[in-house]
Structure 1
Amino acid sequence: MPSTETAHEHSGGELVPVKFSRLTRRGILLGLSLSQLITLGVGGASLVAAFYGGGGVLFLITAPIWVLAAAITWIPVAGRPLVEWLPVACWWLWRSTGRQLAYRRRIVTPRPAGTLALPGDMARLREYTDPETGAGMVHDPTAGTLTVVTEITHPAFVLLDPGEQERRVTAWGRVLATVCRSGRIATLQVLERTLPDSGQGLAEWWAAHGTADGSWAATTYQELIDRAGPAGERHATTLSLSLDMRAAARQIRTAGGGIKGAAAVLRQEMGTLSAALRSADLTSKGWLGTGQIAVILRSAYDPAIAATLERHGDLGHDLATAGPVAVTESWGHLRSDSAYHCVVWISEWPRSMVHPGFLSPVLLSSGIHRAFSLICTPLRTDQAARDIRRKKTEYISDAAQRARIGQIEDASQTAEYHDVLQQEADLTAGHGVLRYTGLISVSAHSLEELEAAVAAIEQAAIQASCETRVLVGQQAQAFTAAALPLCRKV
């Protein structure tokens, strides 16, 4: 479940620490979730039936039922009750028996025009090129969203002085507040990737500034560029904006309806976001076309080809063939074309006050091919207000029930209640509410390298005061959300 944070602005020249809301672990009754209450009810019903049926032997006959119900209700596995693993395990079993864990592209069968050659439920995605901006848009007819992507460049945040860092954090808060006030945005995704450097930048710099006069110095410098360029890595950041076509249905009809009307409404949001990014000193390289999106998708599934695609102009700029050739999903990892992948979920953001830039141990880790995805889901003001009122009512009723039975109040429950009160105060002050989901996709050429890279990322997350978990049983779906700039959700 994602964490919640209010999008507002800080003032002052000093770097102000921030705090995320805790991951709520509140249940329906006395901390028990719906699934726990159901299993507990089944076990209790079997005990009551045995008692009224005469007891004795009936208690022994029904023992497997109520013992199993009690076990799966309270026995934790990897921090979660066993009953909460049942949906994941059942879904995995159903997919494995239905042979849905492997994807192979049909080479001789042409894809329908306008579709994306992607595995799983992403096969329903459609591509559309905006005639006015030339931006490539990805339409999800089932979810009712239209997504566009832009590449962002920015200076190194950790190298700025505290005053400049605070100014940029405040400006980024205004960007998020703009997204919250729209009411038509489904998702905002920030994707930061490490890519193998093709050496093209160094080669272009040498061609523009170097002197290839055949001297020993020039020859040695050229050899160093040829060797060091492909061995390095670079960082790329994209920002994806997804329009909720259901929430913007009236505006879409006014703009002409259909995908063209949705594109017109999305262009308005693109203009608003571009202006907000400029005020935050974030440089947009323009909205990506379908060819540029195709290169990102191909590089995610096939990292070995990323440097080649960058060096060779228009190679791989076909969104209809940008998907993987083969994908095989396992319980704890995913294999595609030239790499193994594992997706890690940031299950708990820092519980204490932290300064912006706390994720630098994760984002600046070197020698690891990874993609960090921050999925921001803005909540409408009325929806956020109803959610806060519901949480307050549940907390107060749970506290009264615990006091009635003599149960001691837990400090974590008190902290969660204070988080709800803080969100209510921020919402009343006019700020927006966002739900954050952090995912890290780690890629490697072998399983041994993958395990070492995942361990390094988990250690870096500990340094960033974050808790992480490997998303078992759902790696394929998690990879699309963590490594692809399509505003997908888990």
Structure 2
Amino acid sequence: MESVRPKPRTYGNWRKPTSPGVLGLGLAPTVGLLAGLIVVIFSLLISLLLALLVVVVMCAALGPLMMRDRHGRSGMQWISARMAWTMAKARGQHLYRSGPIGRTPPGTCQLPGLAAKTRLYEAFDAYQRPFGLLHIRSVDDYTAVLQCDADGAALVDDDQIDTWVAYWGQWLSTLGSEPGLVAASITVETAPDTGERLRDEINANMRADAPELARKVLTKVMHDYPEGAARVTTRIALTFEGRAPAGKRRTAGEMATEIGTRLPALSSGLSMTGAGTAVPMRASQIAAAVRVAYDPTVAVLVDRARAEGGPGLRWSEAGPFAAQESWGHYRHDGAYSVTWAMSDAPRGEVFATVLQRLLSPHDDILRKRVTILYRAHDPGTAARIVERDIKDARFKANQAKKASARDSVALTAAEQTALEEATGAGLLRFGMLVTATVDHHDKLELAASAVDNLSASARLVLRRAYGAQASSFAAALPLGLVLPRHVRVPQVLRDSL
């Protein structure tokens, strides 16, 4: 009998939110264009020179909105980003100093930028497990972080990988039904292993009367094995809104009780996704992870202190001593980092291993952090969004006498998304941040080339976060920072441009 090999499963059908408009403009610029045309018509009744002046003003206002680069950013976005960076640099906001000569309270190293107004508490969940609760006071959000021991896909059957992906999709779909859940982020960080954990494990289990051969072998393993080894950590940050549905502001104690009752269910739901055992991170563990991210040279000291049972870091000690943001990179203590943001997801269908190379350690990058950001929509909002996307896709496809292939595919994808949502699937917005950290300025371009190659293999389009390196670096950390909630321009207005 001939054996039939099953066809590999593929994934896709994600769509970028769009706004209906003409000439490549969004809804708000299109309304402005129509209003301008009406003003031109009435201006012709008064003076031809006045009408020409109105046309020039319209072109100057709408021209930058019509010009877009390969990442989909308009000229207006580029101009506003450049102006904001110039003003921030003139005010000295790109510099940060803490410690004895800084402006922070004496003896502290607070976090800079968006994470400056944060507080870290420690509470207990329903299983009496201690967990750190991070309060982002600027937007009144609360974040709990889960640390996972991912199994990895090496020597794993395709059926098992498909099962993991299916359960992962089911876990993501439940996020939209969690009351008060704002966002979730998954951070996969790769870094050189310090070897302290291995040394502590061997020293704790080596007997005094062990044979000499066994002692020599273990000693050689203890000194040689950490060379070239990589450490991969996976952390999941869950961000909840601090205000009740009625608009009442809740205290940190009330949020600790509410989040603590939900953590066991959320962590147990990850057991079938390939994430391994998910446990809440304590406050000292979160502070240590952030401290090592800002200063990789203290990784050995942090692991050694943890192995010796010493006191953990306080939140006031988690920040860098000095940091300086440049247009294209970020310098923090003795390290340099560059952060990229995903501007376009892989087109078409992909396999489950599409991100494997991007998530793996790389020789040219000291520390690499890949953070996938999710914002779930509740079922009611998801139903309205998918129906609106179908109308927008049809409007765009019917603008031309003959619809393009891309417009037809977009309409088919919108209809498929609406069908899946109607049958119980969840709807999420997702993005990605990639941070590469090196120990010398001369290695930045080498790390940037490595990330470009890795993103090409993952079929991702990444854009360097010019003028926003500090905030992007902080958002890529497992802190639960939701960047759209820190932007002054409303989300509705940004989507309509």
* Deviation of 1:217 (Å): 8.5
2:328 and 2:67 map into 1 onto residues whose CA distance is 22
* Deviation of 1:87 (Å): 2.3
* Deviation of 1:396 (Å): 3.2
Q: Relative to structure 1, is the Cα distance of residues 81 and 38 closer, same or farther in structure 2, using a 3 angstrom cutoff?
A: farther
2:26 and 2:242 map into 1 onto residues whose CA distance is 33
Where in structure 2 are there 5+ consecutive unaligned residues? 485-497
Structure 1 residue corresponding to 2:80, chosen from 73, 78, 87: 87
Structure 2 residue corresponding to 1:72, chosen from 64, 68, 76: 64
Alignment of 1:24-423 (within 5 A): 24-33=17-26, 37=30, 68-69=60-61, 71-79=63-71, 80-107=73-100, 117-131=110-124, 132-207=128-203, 208=205, 219=216, 222-223=219-220, 225-229=222-226, 231-246=228-243, 258-280=251-273, 282-284=275-277, 286-313=279-306, 314=310, 317-367=313-363, 368=365, 369-400=367-398, 402-403=399-400, 406=401, 408-423=402-417
Q: Relative to structure 1, is the Cα distance of residues 160 and 83 closer, same or farther in structure 2, using a 3 angstrom cutoff?
A: same
Aligned to 1:440: 434
Structure 2 residue corresponding to 1:483, chosen from 449, 471, 477: 477
Q: Relative to structure 1, is the Cα distance of residues 279 and 65 closer, same or farther in structure 2, using a 3 angstrom cutoff?
A: closer
2:325 and 2:295 map into 1 onto residues whose CA distance is 15
SS of equivalent residue, structure 1 residue 88: helix
Q: Which amino acid letter does the alignment assign opposite residue 353 of structure 1? A: E
Where in structure 1 are there 5+ consecutive unaligned residues? 1-11
SS of equivalent residue, structure 2 residue 130: coil
The answer (yes or no) to whether the contact 1:359–1:464 under 8 Å persists in 2 is yes
* Deviation of 1:279 (Å): 4.0
Q: Which amino acid letter does the alignment assign opposite residue 377 of structure 2? A: L
* Deviation of 1:446 (Å): 2.1
The answer (yes or no) to whether the contact 2:455–2:461 under 8 Å persists in 1 is yes
Deviations 1:11-42 (A, max 9, x none): x9875211041324544334313575588679
SS of equivalent residue, structure 1 residue 277: coil
The answer (yes or no) to whether the contact 2:164–2:274 under 8 Å persists in 1 is yes
1:194 and 1:234 map into 2 onto residues whose CA distance is 6
* Deviation of 1:364 (Å): 1.4
SS of equivalent residue, structure 1 residue 29: coil
SS of equivalent residue, structure 2 residue 133: strand
TM-score (norm 1): 0.84
1:56 and 1:182 map into 2 onto residues whose CA distance is 59
Q: Which amino acid letter does the alignment assign opposite residue 241 of structure 2? A: D
Q: Relative to structure 1, is the Cα distance of residues 270 and 116 closer, same or farther in structure 2, using a 3 angstrom cutoff?
A: farther
Aligned to 1:425: 419
Q: Relative to structure 1, is the Cα distance of residues 486 and 81 closer, same or farther in structure 2, using a 3 angstrom cutoff?
A: closer
* Deviation of 1:385 (Å): 1.4
Q: Relative to structure 1, is the Cα distance of residues 221 and 106 closer, same or farther in structure 2, using a 3 angstrom cutoff?
A: closer
Q: Relative to structure 1, is the Cα distance of residues 58 and 24 closer, same or farther in structure 2, using a 3 angstrom cutoff?
A: closer
1:232 and 1:169 map into 2 onto residues whose CA distance is 28
Structure 1 residue corresponding to 2:11, chosen from 18, 22, 36: 18
Q: Which amino acid letter does the alignment assign opposite residue 377 of structure 1? A: R
2:387 and 2:418 map into 1 onto residues whose CA distance is 9
Q: Which amino acid letter does the alignment assign opposite residue 93 of structure 1? A: T
Deviations 1:203-245 (A, max 9, x none): 2454336999796895576356325425432101111111223
Aligned to 2:449: 455
The answer (yes or no) to whether the contact 1:191–1:485 under 8 Å persists in 2 is no
Q: Which amino acid letter does the alignment assign opposite residue 198 of structure 1? A: T
Q: Which amino acid letter does the alignment assign opposite residue 145 of structure 1? A: D
The answer (yes or no) to whether the contact 2:99–2:109 under 8 Å persists in 1 is no
The answer (yes or no) to whether the contact 2:361–2:368 under 8 Å persists in 1 is no
2:21 and 2:209 map into 1 onto residues whose CA distance is 73
Q: Relative to structure 1, is the Cα distance of residues 281 and 235 closer, same or farther in structure 2, using a 3 angstrom cutoff?
A: closer
Deviations 1:411-469 (A, max 9, x none): 22322222221221111101111111111111111232122112111111111111111
* Deviation of 1:199 (Å): 0.8
Q: How many residues align?
A: 469
2:150 and 2:318 map into 1 onto residues whose CA distance is 28
1:333 and 1:339 map into 2 onto residues whose CA distance is 11
The answer (yes or no) to whether the contact 1:47–1:66 under 8 Å persists in 2 is no
- The alignment yields a C-alpha RMSD, in angstroms, of 3.5
* Deviation of 1:329 (Å): 0.9
Moved more, 458-467 or 309-318: 309-318
* Deviation of 1:317 (Å): 1.7
Q: Is 1:469 aligned to 2:466, yes or no?
A: no
SS of equivalent residue, structure 2 residue 120: strand
1:379 and 1:310 map into 2 onto residues whose CA distance is 39
* Deviation of 1:69 (Å): 4.8
2:50 and 2:427 map into 1 onto residues whose CA distance is 56
1:192 and 1:222 map into 2 onto residues whose CA distance is 31
2:479 and 2:95 map into 1 onto residues whose CA distance is 23
Q: Which amino acid letter does the alignment assign opposite residue 31 of structure 1? A: G
1:170 and 1:392 map into 2 onto residues whose CA distance is 26
1:258 and 1:381 map into 2 onto residues whose CA distance is 28
SS of equivalent residue, structure 1 residue 350: coil
* Deviation of 1:293 (Å): 0.5
2:66 and 2:158 map into 1 onto residues whose CA distance is 47
2:282 and 2:481 map into 1 onto residues whose CA distance is 16
TM-score (norm 2): 0.83
Q: Which amino acid letter does the alignment assign opposite residue 87 of structure 1? A: S
Identity %: 23
2:335 and 2:109 map into 1 onto residues whose CA distance is 21
The answer (yes or no) to whether the contact 2:237–2:478 under 8 Å persists in 1 is no
SS of equivalent residue, structure 1 residue 409: coil
SS of equivalent residue, structure 1 residue 283: coil
Aligned to 1:7: none
Q: Relative to structure 1, is the Cα distance of residues 178 and 35 closer, same or farther in structure 2, using a 3 angstrom cutoff?
A: closer
Moved more, 171-180 or 44-53: 44-53
